[in-house]
Structure 1
Amino acid sequence: MMAAPTAEGVVTVSHGQAADADSRDGDEHISDEDQTEKLAEEEEDKEEKEPKIRETPEDILFESGVNTVAFHPTREILAAGDLDGDIYVYEYSCIEGGNKELWSSGHHLKSCREVAFSHDGQKLFSISKDKSIHLMDVEQGKLVSKIAKAHSSSLNSLLLIDENLFATGDDNGMLKVWDLRKGTSFMEMKQHEDYISDITIDPQKKILLTTSGDGTMGVFNIKRRRFELSSEFQNGDLTSVAIMKRGKKVACGSSEGMIYLFNWDEFGATSDRFAVRAESVDSILPITDSILCAASIDGIIRAINLFPNRVIGSIGQHVGEPIEQITKSFNGQFLASCAHDKKVKFWDISSLSDIVVKEYRNRKRKGGNLKSLSKKAVSGQDDFFSDLLEDPVGKKTPHEEKEDTEDDSDSD
């Protein structure tokens, strides 16, 4: 029926037309509600798709136990070597699910003992129980060169000195220093009676220090290509070495849970020592001139201040699993650890340099508990922290006490 004008000139609408109009209005109303719901769903999907940012990268799980781990010098890349002789290179990220394997290599016939990136980050060095040294291209993962029988015994330790020189130590106490330009070693010395566990060198690239399972620290002058001296024997194996306090001190970890300290140029005898109350301190790593991290067979990573000697607290842990090695990222934000649980874990150490040891000592006098130093570390457990108390051994000379007081005033 068509609409017709009335006497007043007003157009009237038939019943059918009114119903059609109501229907169109309803359709428009429903459409608006659907649109609102659709926008809400899209917003939820968008939130779900936005990456979640973590404090640290996620753990990386491997098929075999990991012996060694190393950070790239300029990029967010990490390398790991395992018991099967395989090497893995990962890109790591704080974005959830962001870790990505770049490549892997199975060139070694036996356990990979240590990996290290070259100073320019273009090559990856690795040593193995199979006595070989491998150099690989970081970008493509291809083997660039190798020394098949580098030592007569299994290799155990590696130190890159500069872009041309590097040092290796084996299970029989042999130290070799190599020149990449010649492809041969120019210094070979066997001054240890047991395996060489760790190697470090001073900033001038002159004095090289080694620790050994025979309980001594070796001192070598690579400029003059000669052996200088060995320290006195310590109880148990010396497992790791680090230069601290702006080159004034040398710290050594031991299988007895001790930290042994030497004055620079007085390497014959220790100047101080203290017990960490861990069964064994297997890997130590300088964080600042005064603070180092120590990884132990009990699975705990402790932050330790030197002079005054204090265990500050826990960085993290591989629960109940011995830790093989710890390393620090190029920007100082993360510490990575590998252990018998087949995992590489990441810990935030960015706040360690801000710790003031004097405040910590005051808090201890008041009976305060040691706290965890990262969100992922165990905290609030008295039985856990009971073994984190410092246990000094030996007495300092007045000269050492004066030096310690001066060092305490330094801001690291």
Structure 2
Amino acid sequence: MKFAYQFSNLLGTVYRCGNLNFTCDGNSLISPVGNRVTIFDLKNNKSNTLPLATRYNVKCVGLSPDGRLAIIIDEGGDALLVSLVCRSVLHHFHFKGSVHSVSFSPDGRKFVVTKGNIAQMYHAPGRKREFNAFVLDKTYFGPYDETTCIDWTDDSRCFAVGSKDMSTWVFGAERWDNLIYYALGGHKDAIVACFFESNSLDLYTLSQDGALCVWQCDTPPEGLRLKAPTGWRAELLQGAEEEDDEEGEEQSTVRGKAALAAEEQQGKVKYSRLAKYFFNKEGDFNKLTAAAYHKTTRLLVTGFASGVFHLHELPEFNLIHSLSISDQRIASIAINGSGDWVAFGCSGLGQLLVWEWQSESYVLKQQGHFNSMVALAYSPDGQYLATGGDDGKVKVWNTLSGFCFITFTEHSSGVTGVTFTATGYVIVTSSMDGTVRAFDLHRYRNFRTFTSPRPTQFSCVAVDCSGEVVSAGAQDSFEVFIWSMQTGRLLDVLSGHEGPISGLCFNPVKSVLASASWDRTVRLWDMADSWRTTETLGLTSDALAVTFRPDGAELAVATLNSQITFWDPENAVQTGSIEGRHDLKTGRKELDKITAKHSAKGKAFTTVCYSADGQSVLAGGMSRFVCIYHVKEQILRKKFEISCNLSLDAMEEFLNRRKMTEFGNLALIDQDAGVEDGVAVPLPGVKKGDMSSRHFKPEIRVTSLRFSPTGRCWAATTTEGLLVYSLDTQMLFDPFELDTGVTPARIRVALRQQDYTRAILMAFRLNERKLLQEALESVPWEEVEVVSSSLPELYVERVLGFLASSFEVSCHLEFYLIWTQKLLLVHGQKLKGRAGKVLPAVQFLQKSIQRHLDDVSRLCDWNRYNIQYALAVSKQRGLKRPSQLSGSDDEADASDDTLHLPGVRHGDGHGHGQLV
């Protein structure tokens, strides 16, 4: 269980491509993010990523009407049937081609998939267990070009399909006699969306050139007639009719004749165009790219390539309002069930917005880094994550909600390093623009800017444990700069390195700075003794990263030859080494002419960090794998695969034979055309790839790794985004010292006998959360001290861990605080001897208590200021009262403006209010 880290959440990226969906209650938004799917809970302000991944980027998501099932289809045509209730994959399916869209029928019995120029209707999976969950019902032909959109009628009798050939086709979901298919034209560009009117066959179609056509059907949905069966179905029905009695036969013949007469009178379904409207056009750039329609309120939302969106009321086509999100195209639009919230996704910026159109306010506004993230830091209490990217932005994320709550944009170039001070309220960042900036998380501002005498590019940053000394390493001048946080003045410039500085780290215990460089050395600088060099550690290759153990007694250095070396900083002696080349397992790039095995020779770990207890080290780099090593044993404990997304480069281990032709690799043929001497092979060490190439795929890599101070989770900045891995907290049964005599019934018997210590011990042996909560909360608060003193030392750490996790969800705040206080007071001295093992549980506990402290203190401050304001106003009126003797003064006092405080009701209208 110690290393059973599972994928927990994906931060830093909120939308990549695909369609957006609201859940059936309208409170949550489902957004595809790369090859994963994230659910944003808009009511509770939380985001959660499903623990599943597809082989390629997600192309479309179909949600069942009851909100229990979802069909997730990637760019390769692979589909996952997912249960949103238990968050697991129920079925795998391959559609044998690229799928553009998928949509469930309103009754949930069928769903339609469009791929190529055809539409396929499948029976939706039912509640019973089936061998094949997807059964093909019928394939519909008609469009000559690729299909683009689907919409169903409310009664699930028909559906419409739009196509790039400028036509819209209406198909019958059943074997209707008067409607097999109907083709609608009238457009001069590709169809973007089509929508049925509520409880009608009337249709709206929108094309890419900004045209809206309104189509009226001469037949209501009830007028659709089932086609008479033929062939073997007719013979079966005829045999069944012959078995009926003669009276029944006479009635059936009379009804049949009446039905035939009615069919002769009625003709086929026909459509006529009532109107054609045009949106405001501003050239070819402002093309219509996405649309959504709410049938109940008749609200049409359209998005354009210029980032503008319109809200219209149909069928009169009245413009409600028009706004602009950004200058990037809107890729997807969704409206929730009540029609109040509209969600927009911009794939160019990775932006996700939820707009409440009636109040004209944002419900959600999130955006990830425009370019890749390169730096990461945990706050000391583990509540926040700070990231820096190549776009020059610094974002701070809440680990509980998964949302970014502040973005700093002061840097004008890529951010290279991010770190927190010991208090957790200051973020210090370094950038390639030649500045090191300090940001205040209380006022959300840049309050310090550190610069060098000569313009230089900073590659890393570090802050000492007191938060008073800031250091940054230069990439071009090979120097380390030291500033004072209080004054902002440059204190000293440390020279001695002969290569770019790649990493800096302060000793957590002593005032010693370690600097790693490409000159194959790590230098230790004494901050207390005029910043002189105390030791120089010689390496066998270029140093890429350096970090101290949490107790400061060991130093880990990652080098270019894929090794991690461990040093004793006091004696400058190497204590161990780990060879990681075989564990990296780099993949083969699309343009590589050599195998993945030989390309691994140039790969290395670029980021290293220690675990909270200091016994393990986490390493990652130019690979999709992250490794956890045991420091003392120098063995690999576990390896995590960050991504399985084949839409990224350097993912495949072997060459794809399907891309091989008689002229060589298909990916290299087009590259050879513009080069005289052959293919333009990327230079070794190039991180970003050739951005000017016609076909560019981002390369998978891990740029930064950090363990949470609580030790229960770790985060990694990758090409996919900010991935968070945590211990599986949803496991209910994890037996601990279990025997046959421990049962839930015996635990409840012990509670009734008021033998609380024995009941708690048995509950921890079963380790079932509900039983633990019942046993702890059954203890009277005045007996908590006695029970906590009688607990064995082995169980104290487990009780502290349970209390820390309970603080996040329980409302019994004071009761659990009493438990925490008594446990720490009674067992505090014993826990000091096992500080390394107990530290993660204590830090997790501190994080939970600190979060409650912030919330309660903020509420208390707000109430205190309101009461002070009310007292000041009442005193001011009390001073006025003696001078007001005449009736006119009373009338003037009655006409004074009264200030209404939030939560304050005024009793009468003459200033003599009562606080309720």
Q: Same fold (TM over 0.5)?
A: yes
Matched letter for residue 388 of structure 2: G
The question of whether the paired residues in 2 share the 8 Å contact of 1:318 and 1:339 is answered with no
Question: Post-superposition shift, 1:304?
Answer: 0.6
Structure 1's 163 and 53: CA in aligned 2 closer, same or farther, altered over 3 A?
closer
Tell me, yes or no, if structure 1 residue 329 matches structure 2 residue 708. Answer: yes
Structure 1's 126 and 53: CA in aligned 2 closer, same or farther, altered over 3 A?
closer
The question of whether the paired residues in 1 share the 8 Å contact of 2:482 and 2:490 is answered with yes
Matched letter for residue 290 of structure 1: Q
Tell me, yes or no, if structure 1 residue 131 matches structure 2 residue 456. Answer: no
1:184 maps to what in 2? Answer: 489
Structure 1's 350 and 116: CA in aligned 2 closer, same or farther, altered over 3 A?
farther
CA distance in structure 2 between the aligned counterparts of 1:69 and 1:335, rounded to whole angstroms: 11
Q: CA RMSD in A?
A: 3.2
Matched letter for residue 108 of structure 1: H
1:74 maps to what in 2? Answer: 381
Question: Post-superposition shift, 1:118?
Answer: 2.3
The question of whether the paired residues in 1 share the 8 Å contact of 2:48 and 2:402 is answered with no
Structure 2 counterpart of 1:296, from 598, 606, 621: 621
1:111 maps to what in 2? Answer: 414
Aligned-pair identity (%): 14
Matched letter for residue 473 of structure 2: G
CA distance in structure 2 between the aligned counterparts of 1:74 and 1:349, rounded to whole angstroms: 17
Q: How does 1:7-156 map to 2 (within 5 A)?
A: 61-74=368-381, 76-93=383-400, 98-149=401-452, 152-156=455-459
Q: Deviations over 1:224-257 (max 9, x none)?
A: 021123222422x211123349544322111211
Question: Post-superposition shift, 1:206?
Answer: 2.4
Q: Deviations over 1:44-72 (max 9, x none)?
A: 96999897996999999532111111222
Q: Deviations over 1:233-290 (max 9, x none)?
A: 422x2111233495443221112110112233332x6343230123311111110222
1:273 maps to what in 2? Answer: 577
Q: How does 1:240-319 map to 2 (within 5 A)?
A: 240-244=545-549, 246-267=551-572, 270-277=574-581, 278=584, 279-287=603-611, 288-319=613-644
Structure 1's 155 and 108: CA in aligned 2 closer, same or farther, altered over 3 A?
same
Question: Post-superposition shift, 1:99?
Answer: 2.2
The question of whether the paired residues in 1 share the 8 Å contact of 2:705 and 2:717 is answered with yes
The question of whether the paired residues in 1 share the 8 Å contact of 2:549 and 2:610 is answered with yes
User: 163-172 or 304-313, which moves further after superposition?
Assistant: 163-172
Question: Post-superposition shift, 1:80?
Answer: 1.1
CA distance in structure 2 between the aligned counterparts of 1:174 and 1:326, rounded to whole angstroms: 25
User: 111-120 or 200-209, which moves further after superposition?
Assistant: 200-209
CA distance in structure 1 between the aligned counterparts of 2:403 and 2:526, rounded to whole angstroms: 42
2:339 maps to what in 1? Answer: none
2:247 maps to what in 1? Answer: none
Structure 1's 179 and 148: CA in aligned 2 closer, same or farther, altered over 3 A?
closer
Matched letter for residue 381 of structure 2: T
The question of whether the paired residues in 2 share the 8 Å contact of 1:156 and 1:197 is answered with yes
Question: Post-superposition shift, 1:174?
Answer: 0.8
2:480 maps to what in 1? Answer: 175
Question: Post-superposition shift, 1:333?
Answer: 2.1
Tell me, yes or no, if structure 1 residue 208 matches structure 2 residue 508. Answer: no
Higher relative contact order (Cα pairs below 8 Å, separated by 6+ residues): 1
Structure 1 unaligned runs (5+)?
A: 1-43, 352-409
Matched letter for residue 275 of structure 1: E
Tell me, yes or no, if structure 1 residue 227 matches structure 2 residue 533. Answer: yes
Question: Post-superposition shift, 1:164?
Answer: 1.2
2:467 alignment partner, SS class: coil
Aligned length: 304
CA distance in structure 1 between the aligned counterparts of 2:407 and 2:574, rounded to whole angstroms: 43
2:793 maps to what in 1? Answer: none
Structure 1's 308 and 221: CA in aligned 2 closer, same or farther, altered over 3 A?
same
CA distance in structure 1 between the aligned counterparts of 2:493 and 2:425, rounded to whole angstroms: 27
Structure 1's 266 and 56: CA in aligned 2 closer, same or farther, altered over 3 A?
farther
Structure 2 counterpart of 1:345, from 723, 733, 736: 723
The question of whether the paired residues in 1 share the 8 Å contact of 2:452 and 2:481 is answered with no
Q: How does 1:391-410 map to 2 (within 5 A)?
A: none
The question of whether the paired residues in 1 share the 8 Å contact of 2:509 and 2:552 is answered with no
1:366 maps to what in 2? Answer: none
Matched letter for residue 270 of structure 1: Q
Structure 1's 334 and 258: CA in aligned 2 closer, same or farther, altered over 3 A?
same
1:384 maps to what in 2? Answer: none
Question: Post-superposition shift, 1:120?
Answer: 1.6
Tell me, yes or no, if structure 1 residue 163 matches structure 2 residue 541. Answer: no
CA distance in structure 1 between the aligned counterparts of 2:553 and 2:395, rounded to whole angstroms: 37
Question: Post-superposition shift, 1:131?
Answer: 0.9
Structure 1's 166 and 311: CA in aligned 2 closer, same or farther, altered over 3 A?
same
Question: Post-superposition shift, 1:140?
Answer: 4.2
Matched letter for residue 76 of structure 1: Q
Structure 1's 150 and 129: CA in aligned 2 closer, same or farther, altered over 3 A?
farther
Matched letter for residue 406 of structure 2: W
2:242 maps to what in 1? Answer: none
The question of whether the paired residues in 2 share the 8 Å contact of 1:133 and 1:150 is answered with no
Q: TM-score, normalised by structure 1?
A: 0.66
The question of whether the paired residues in 1 share the 8 Å contact of 2:449 and 2:488 is answered with no
Give the number of the structure whose alpha-carbon radius of gyration is greater: 2
CA distance in structure 2 between the aligned counterparts of 1:258 and 1:118, rounded to whole angstroms: 30
